[in-house]
Amino acid sequence: MIEARQLTKIFTDKKRGAITAVENVSFTCQPGRIYGLLGANGAGKTTTLRMLATLLKPSSGSAVIAGHDAGTAPEQVRANVGFLAASTALYGRLTSREMIAYFGRLNGMPDDAIRARIQVLADELAMHDFLDRRCDKFSTGMKQKTSIARTLIHDPAVMIFDEPTLGLDVMTARSIVRFVRDCRDRGKTVIYSTHVMSEVEKLCDTIGIIHNGRLVAEGTLAQLQEKFGERDMEEIFVKAVGGEAALAAALNT
């Protein structure tokens, strides 16, 4: 369902010149699987996901999503993808229900289908208590659940989550992790980007470690444990990126 083929993205900065944000990243993710993209801030996770979701054009390489080429058939890709960005904005004067319904209409859904789908998502994400409250009165967790629901209103086959639990309290984060797992169990194809090691261990069938825009390691948790001789995901990650000094240098770049 998802195939990234040597994706590369180079940005041009007036002062710094050409900056390679992502370099030759390739991986696949199948239905009923969660691919975890693990990396520190600035490693290239979000840029990679934006290319998959057709929000950015790659400088080179390609991606095929649900059988459609992201470069030549972006509209078909978008119809099959739900993309939750790391930072989202809600229109404060709308209720959660109105916000979700608006995105349903953008995806060409009839009103009866929107109403039914909102009920399903509200059940799955425990949203009924605030479904008819205005978004400007929401906690961070309520906003994130509304953002997830509007992203998935059209029930896409492919789901891309970029740091979905960032800034959330423990209980809300747990509910979202549980929801993502349920999506996998229903046969969805899921990419899950995070820097939270425990989430990767709990959720992901395959883990890709990205560092300085490159995919430096990939495999199941068991495969990575064997390769790097460590049981703890944090220790595996540090070894994969070249040690603590390399990680610190990248974070300070």
pLDDT tens, position by position, 114-170:
999 999 999 999 999 999 999 998 998 999 999 999 999 999 999 999 999 888 888
Q: Report the phi/psi class of residue 141: left, alpha or beta, with left for phi > 0 and alpha for psi in -120 to 50.
A: alpha
**Number of other residues whose CB lies within 10 A of the CB of residue 30:** 12
For residue 36, list its beta bridge partners: 192, 207
CA-to-CA dists, residue 72 to 2, 97, 232, angstroms? 15, 34, 41
Q: What is the pTM of this model?
A: 0.90
Residue 183 to residue 190: CA distance in whole angstroms: 8
Please state at what angle helix 96-106 crosses helix 140-151, rounded to 10 degrees.
20
Instruction: List the CATH number of the domain containing 159.
Output: 3.40.50.300
pLDDT tens, position by position, 46-78:
999 999 999 999 999 999 999 999 999 999 999
Structure tokens at 158: 């492919």
Number of domains in the chain: 1
Sheet holding 2-13, edge to edge: 17-29, 2-13, 60-65, 68-69
Residue range(s) defining the domain that contains residue 183: 2-251
For residue 102, which amino acid is it? Y
pLDDT tens, position by position, 158-184:
999 999 988 888 888 888 899 999 999
